[in-house]
Amino acid sequence: MAETDLTIRELRRRFADKSLSPLEYWLSLEDHVAAWEPSISALYLYDPEAARVQAKASTERWAKGRTLGTLDGIPATLKELIATEGQPVPLGTRAVELKPAEADAPAAARLREDGAVIFAKTTCPDYGMLSSGLSSFHPLSRNPWNIAQNPGGSSAGAAAAAAAGYGPLHIGTDIGGSVRLPAGWTGIFGFKPSHGRIPADPYYVGRCLGPMTRTVEDAAFSMATLSRPDWRDGTSLPPNDFDWMDFVVDISGMKIGLMLDAGCGFAVDDEIRVAVESAAKRFEKAGATIVSVQPVLTRAMLDGLDTFWRARLWSDIAGLNEERRDSILPYIRDWAKAGADISGVDAVRGFNQTIEMRRSCGRLFTRVDALLSPTNPIISYPAEWASPTNDPTRPFEHIAFTVPWNMSEQPAASINCGFSRSGMPIGLQIVGPRFDDMRVLRLSKAFEDWTGGVSVWPQRPIV
């Protein structure tokens, strides 16, 4: 194992026994980032000098036995949408006027409190409204497994950085699948906890933050830090006393749903279906009862959400002058323009479909203890595409497996469950009951232990 592949547990052990310092680790990671970044363009505001200063301070704390928290000295990135004091938040688009943020958003504040080394932000598409590495502001972000392919999004840079080994911890955001979708396409672990578990600012219907890591344990390590409540999120959950590192689970007797039809959107690729069915058999072998379940999503629900989101984004950009509005990625601008013709009544009707999603998901979880499904219905798509359809009139055909769990506020994760014949990763989605974040982490860790996780990481592309 390369030094840059060390997990948070391994790094903490070596920091403690002084066989490796946070500064020494960072310097190795700095070289690793330099080798990869020209090919995948995952980072924004990358500041190695500031990282050296933070790592040196952490090294001194470890030497004195006065660390700030669990993540002291651990390098981390934050998705560009997550504000960091004094730095702009361009929202992935050239249309936004660049102004320094007045304060750290909750996730950034929690990482700093615990001494993490925040060395960069990660890229996202315009307004975080694409599952793509394409942006009018950032360079094109690419998938480390094949740089001709898309990493997905909107946490595009976070997924690419995690897959390429830019340290153990990257924080993304997810309103319809934006942590899990790119996690599936890049072979990493992406965890969307229960809504409000990690405070968000600004918060919004379905919007969550979540860790994107190479291992389940690394994601769990971050949760005690990230889940501390923050008054700025009106949906922030009360303090929890979870032991985030307790992965003991008795799968015997659990009833686990298997959903292979999302109800609308893309049909599931045959290779993905086979990989997910194989994963379900692992749980069955461990004693679970696997039951085939019907979709929770309908075309009316997905189209209603599309209507609501178009109206919402148009309300944000309608006041921009023509020059700024024209600088938005054309795909997003053209999609949002339809919002100008949506009446208030139709926007509310669209929003009401989020409630229908919630009801449908709740009904299913009266019959199952957990759910397995594909994360993504398709294997991959070109890096230059704005979405898996590349068609703004059909923008959300790829999110049908992921978006319901945002609206139902349930925890869900994506974990690698195999590879396609073309060598691209395949993601398995694991969903749990609302507030039972540990069930998702425990089932994910069990699956990781059975399969050995991702046994091979992307090789450095030729620059």
- The amino acid that residue 459 corresponds to is Q
Q: How far apart are CA 260 and CA 377, in angstroms?
A: 9
pLDDT, residue 462, reads: 46
Q: How far apart are CA 110 and CA 459, in angstroms?
A: 33
Q: Please list, in sequence order, all residues whose beta carbon lies within 8 angstroms of the beta carbon of residue 229, skipping any fewer than 6 positions away.
A: 199, 236, 237, 238, 239
Q: Please list, in sequence order, all residues whose beta carbon lies within 8 angstroms of the beta carbon of residue 285, skipping any fewer than 6 positions away.
A: none
pLDDT, residue 460, reads: 63
Question: Phi and psi for 118 in degrees, rounded to 5?
Answer: -85, 110
> Token pair of 160, please?
């690419």
> Token pair of 214, please?
């190479």
Q: How far apart are CA 134 and CA 266, in angstroms?
A: 21
Q: How far apart are CA 269 and CA 350, in angstroms?
A: 29
Q: How far apart are CA 110 and CA 112, in angstroms?
A: 5
Domains of the chain: 8-227 (3.90.1300.10), 255-451 (3.90.1300.10)
- The amino acid that residue 86 corresponds to is G
pLDDT tens series, the chain, 463 aa: 677 899 999 999 999 999 999 999 999 999 999 999 999 999 999 999 999 999 999 999 999 999 999 999 999 999 999 999 999 999 999 999 999 999 999 999 999 999 999 999 999 999 999 999 999 999 999 999 999 999 999 999 999 999 999 999 999 999 999 999 999 999 999 999 999 999 999 999 999 999 999 999 999 999 999 999 999 999 999 999 999 999 999 999 999 999 999 999 999 999 999 999 999 999 999 999 999 999 999 999 999 999 999 999 999 999 999 999 999 999 999 999 999 999 999 999 999 999 999 999 999 999 999 999 999 999 999 999 999 999 999 999 999 999 999 999 999 999 999 999 999 999 999 999 999 999 999 999 999 999 987 656 787 654 4
> Token pair of 126, please?
């315009």
> Token pair of 23, please?
């500064």
> Token pair of 389, please?
């359809």
Within 13 A of 106's CA, how many CA atoms are on the CB side? 26
CA distances from 381 to 329, 371, 384 (A): 18, 26, 9
CB atoms within 10 A of CB 292: 10
| Residue whose C-alpha is closest to residue 236's, from 339, 66, 110 | 110
CA angle 95, 99, 102 (to 5 degrees): 135
Using a 10 angstrom Cβ sphere, with 0-12 exposed, 13-18 middle and 19 or more buried, the burial of residue 135 is buried
Q: How far apart are CA 82 and CA 209, in angstroms?
A: 9
Q: How far apart are CA 94 and CA 439, in angstroms?
A: 41
The SS3 of residue 169 is strand
Contact 390, 168 (CB under 8 A): no
